[in-house]
Amino acid sequence: MLGTVAQFLDRGGPALWAIGALSVCTLALILWKVWHLLRLGAWQSGHAEKAVALWQDGRHAQALEGLAGRNGLRARTTRAAIATLMQRDADTAREECARVARAGLAEARTGLRPLDLVITIAPLLGLLGTVLGMIEAFQALQDSGARADPAALAGGIWEALLTTAAGMSVAIPAALALSWFDSVTDRIAHDFEDIATRLFTAPGAGMRTPTGADMQAPSGAETGATATPAGQGFTP
């Protein structure tokens, strides 16, 4: 089996060997990217949706507790927004939510640039191998002079064209995989926007949860304020 593969690669020369190595790297990259997205919870949104529903119902503490220990992209963004909304103002919470969402998208897009590079490099390597093979075939034709064998020339040409076919066979699956990964990250970005909109437009959003210190209102004696006599209101 390995001998047959090596014999096939030898026909295309160094360019076909390079494309063969590139195909192995591309397959490994695609499989790693699928595992990476699974680890990030790219297709999981149940916990975040449940937390958003609880937040909209006014059960803020339960919404935050439901996201404890959840490391999915949507869960992380939702937890950051809820936790900041419960402690800070809406503008600060919006900035924190955007920061976490940008970090999540950057993590989800990891590995896409090398895949894009494969789509560009593989056909070029195939074309380079074909050009080099054609040069070699026509050099052999020139050296043979009047005793040129058309069959030998045709054999040299089709062997040179192997690299073009091999380069395209690597680039096409890589392009399909990249398009799929892009659609996954676009869906994540859309979900981030949807979650943020629903959180920040819910009733009571941006109202900080009162703490124990907030519940202790200062008395008039502590602040040195005097009571306003009855019937005397504030006049400008």
- φ, ψ dihedrals at 80, nearest 5°: -65, -40
- Residue 222 pLDDT more than 80? no
**25-53 pLDDT tens trace:** 999 999 999 999 999 999 988 889 999 99
The helix/strand count (H/E) of the chain reads as: 10, 0
Report helix, strand or coil for 194. helix
More confident residue, 136 or 183: 183
User: Helix 14-39 to helix 2-12 angle, to the nearest 10 degrees?
Assistant: 120
- Residues 87, 208 contacting (CB under 8 angstroms): yes
- C-alpha neighbours within 13 Å on the C-beta side of residue 209: 12
Amino acid at 198: R
* Residue scoring higher pLDDT (223 or 209): 209
Contact 76, 99 (CB under 8 A): no
pLDDT value of position 98: 93
In this predicted structure, what is the pLDDT of residue 33?
96
pLDDT above 50 for 224: no
Give the tens place of pLDDT for each residue, 174-192: 999 999 999 999 999 999 9
Share of the chain above pLDDT 90, in %: 44
**Contact (Cβ atoms closer than 8 angstroms) between residue 234 and residue 89:** no
Report pLDDT for 1: 58
> pLDDT per residue over 8-18, tens digit each?
566 667 888 88
What was the pLDDT predicted at 112? 95
- In the chain, domain spans: 23-207
pTM of the model: 0.76
- Tell me if 192 sits within 8 A of 74, measured CB to CB: yes
